């Protein structure tokens, strides 16, 4: 599989430091149409991986990265960036292209890129070729557990913060309470006025006929797009919905690689929406961006926005990142260094080498969030690796 990025710099990994985190609570209980992440942000830990020169790549991660990736890379071996990626890719292929292991591969891909950027003394976004130090954003939230007044207050605040596009959840009572959802769309439209772009996210809760009924009912309020109206893998349902509904639709956060987005484009999806932490290769974000430009489609990218800002700096003003506040706000509070949000943009630090973020370990230890720390060294690591998966 050809990587978008081609770097011949060699990497030898010396150690990894993993910080296990206790559950990080959200500001208020959260729910979308099909469940969502509940009372806690979906965080497990934070990892820092070092090369033999002391350069570091760092990220929030799942514990799967410890068991799936570290045994393969903390071996003392030297490979180029692309050789390491290809080596890991073929080790993980049989887990399946939608697997957690594939997501771990994508996270490690970003770690390697951050190490290369830090080695050159450049921020990741500049190392990758960005000509600016900011990324456009839109803001999302709107839990189905919020009452109408709370929802409207959040959406109005997002606009007052400078966001021209906002998004919230629909699909109340597992999609059975359309009256409530329609009322909330109407209330938000009245509150923010005619010029703000409003998107709604159904999180795949409906079948085609029900999604069409809902689309008909919210059409007077001019949604910017209807996100995941039906199952994200039911390509025929997506095609049928798009053929029958005069409304832009968005998909992408459930997919792991570029090829799925080619199919989305063929099936009539108007808005391609890859998610940073679920992609198998960071370069696929750029390939999907280029596909959207080629086809005249909308493009945005979700995920941990503080880290995604490095890639957002490679996008245009009309190719924003999603700042999903119920998740990104508490995650941001775990960081002592991160991009600054202002007027619908995230501003990156132009002189911070490598990753755009740094973890706030003193704060996390003081407030009890930091549960433990473990160091993995190359010369002590068990280099054997067994595939553990169901066939």
In percent, how much of the chain has pLDDT > 70?
Answer: 97
**Mean of pLDDT values over 54-69:** 96
pLDDT, residue 37, reads 74
Residue-wise pLDDT tens digits, 120-153: 999 999 999 999 999 999 999 999 999 999 999 9
- E strand or H helix at 153: helix 148-160
Residue 86 and residue 316 in contact, taking contact as beta carbons nearer than 8 Å:
no
Does the 129-347 domain belong in CATH 3.20.20.120?
yes
Residue 238 and residue 267 in contact, taking contact as beta carbons nearer than 8 Å:
yes
- Residues 84 and 98: their CA atoms lie apart, in Å, by 20
Is the pLDDT assigned to residue 77 strictly greater than 80?
yes
- Residues 308 and 279: their CA atoms lie apart, in Å, by 12
DSSP-assigned beta bridge partners for residue 373 = 19
Interhelix angle 178-192/148-160, nearest 10 degrees = 30
Is the pLDDT assigned to residue 380 strictly greater than 60?
no
Is the pLDDT assigned to residue 389 strictly greater than 70?
no
Q: How confident is the model at residue 35 (pLDDT cuts 50, 70, 90)?
A: confident
- Residues 122 and 32: their CA atoms lie apart, in Å, by 39
In percent, how much of the chain has pLDDT > 90?
Answer: 93
- E strand or H helix at 342: strand 340-342
The answer to pTM > 0.75 is: yes
Q: Which of 60-74, 177-191, 316-330, 377-391 has the lowest mean pLDDT?
A: 377-391
- Residues 141 and 150: their CA atoms lie apart, in Å, by 11
DSSP-assigned beta bridge partners for residue 227 = 201, 250
pLDDT, residue 3, reads 87
Q: Which of 370, 387, 317, 377 is nearest to 346 (CA)?
A: 317
Q: Report helix, strand or coil for 174.
A: helix
- E strand or H helix at 15: strand 13-21
pLDDT, residue 383, reads 53
Q: Report helix, strand or coil for 235.
A: helix
pLDDT, residue 2, reads 78
pLDDT, residue 385, reads 55
The domain limits of the chain are 10-125+358-377, 129-347
Classify residue 60 as left (phi > 0), alpha (psi -120 to 50) or beta.
beta
- Residues 18 and 373: their CA atoms lie apart, in Å, by 6
DSSP 88-150: HHHHHGGG-TTSHHHHHHHHHHHHHHHHHHHHTT-BHHHHTT-SSSEEEEEEEE--TTS-HHH
Residue 185 and residue 200 in contact, taking contact as beta carbons nearer than 8 Å:
yes
Contacts of 184 (CB under 8 A, 6+ apart): 148, 151, 168, 170
Opening angle at CA 47, ends 43 and 52, nearest 5: 170
**Mean of pLDDT values over 316-326:** 98
Q: Which of 22-31, 32-41, 94-103 has the lowest mean pLDDT?
A: 32-41
Residue-wise pLDDT tens digits, 166-185: 999 999 999 999 999 999 99
Is the pLDDT assigned to residue 391 strictly greater than 50?
no
**How is domain 10-125+358-377 classified at the architecture level of CATH?**
2-Layer Sandwich (3.30)
Is the pLDDT assigned to residue 20 strictly greater than 70?
yes
CA 273 to chain centre: 9
Q: Which of 91, 25, 186 is nearest to 389 (CA)?
A: 91
- E strand or H helix at 166: strand 165-169
The token duo for 351 is: 């002189």
Residue 239 and residue 268 in contact, taking contact as beta carbons nearer than 8 Å:
yes
Residue 305 and residue 141 in contact, taking contact as beta carbons nearer than 8 Å:
no
Residue 283 and residue 3 in contact, taking contact as beta carbons nearer than 8 Å:
yes
Residue-wise pLDDT tens digits, 84-107: 999 999 999 999 989 999 999 999
CA distances for 5 relative to 110, 134, 260, 290, 353, angstroms: 11, 21, 19, 14, 19
DSSP 60-73: EE-THHHHHTHHHH
């Amino acid at each position: 599989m050809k990587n978008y990025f081609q770097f011949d710099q060699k990497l030898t990994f010396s150690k990894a430091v993993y910080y296990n985190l206790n559950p990080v609570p959200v500001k208020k209980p959260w729910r979308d149409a099909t469940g969502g992440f509940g009372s806690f942000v979906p965080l497990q830990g934070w990892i820092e991986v070092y090369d033999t020169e002391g350069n570091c790549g760092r990220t929030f991660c799942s514990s799967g990265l410890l068991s799936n990736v570290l045994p393969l890379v903390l071996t003392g071996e030297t490979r180029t960036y692309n050789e390491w990626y290809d080596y890991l890719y073929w080790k993980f292929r049989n887990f399946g292209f939608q697997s957690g292991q594939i997501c771990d591969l994508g996270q490690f891909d970003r770690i390697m890129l951050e190490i290369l950027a830090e080695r050159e003394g450049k921020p990741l976004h500049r190392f990758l070729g960005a000509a600016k130090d900011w990324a456009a954003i839109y803001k999302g939230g709107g839990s189905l557990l919020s009452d109408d007044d709370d929802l409207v207050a959040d959406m109005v605040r997002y606009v007052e913060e400078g966001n021209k596009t906002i998004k919230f959840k629909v699909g109340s009572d597992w999609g059975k309470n359309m009256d409530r959802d329609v009322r909330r769309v109407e209330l938000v439209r009245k509150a923010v006025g005619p010029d703000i772009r409003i998107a709604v996210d159904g999180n795949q809760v409906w079948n085609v006929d029900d999604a069409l009924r809902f689309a008909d009912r919210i059409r007077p309020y001019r949604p910017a797009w209807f996100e995941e109206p039906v199952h994200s893998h039911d390509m025929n349902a997506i095609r049928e919905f798009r053929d029958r509904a005069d409304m832009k639709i968005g998909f992408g956060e459930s997919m792991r690689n570029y090829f799925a987005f080619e199919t989305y484009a063929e099936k009539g999806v108007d808005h391609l929406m890859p998610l940073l932490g679920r992609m198998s290769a960071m370069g696929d974000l750029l390939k999907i961006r280029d596909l959207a430009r080629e086809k005249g489609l909308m493009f945005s990218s979700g995920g941990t926005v503080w880290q995604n800002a490095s890639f957002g700096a490679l996008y245009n003003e009309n190719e924003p990142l999603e700042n999903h506040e119920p998740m990104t706000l508490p995650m941001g509070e775990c960081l002592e260094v991160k991009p600054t949000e202002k007027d619908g943009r995230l501003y990156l630090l132009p002189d911070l080498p490598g990753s755009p973020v740094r973890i706030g370990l003193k704060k996390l230890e003081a407030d009890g969030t930091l549960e433990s720390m473990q160091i993995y060294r190359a010369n002590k690591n068990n280099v054997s690796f067994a595939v553990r998966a169901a066939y």
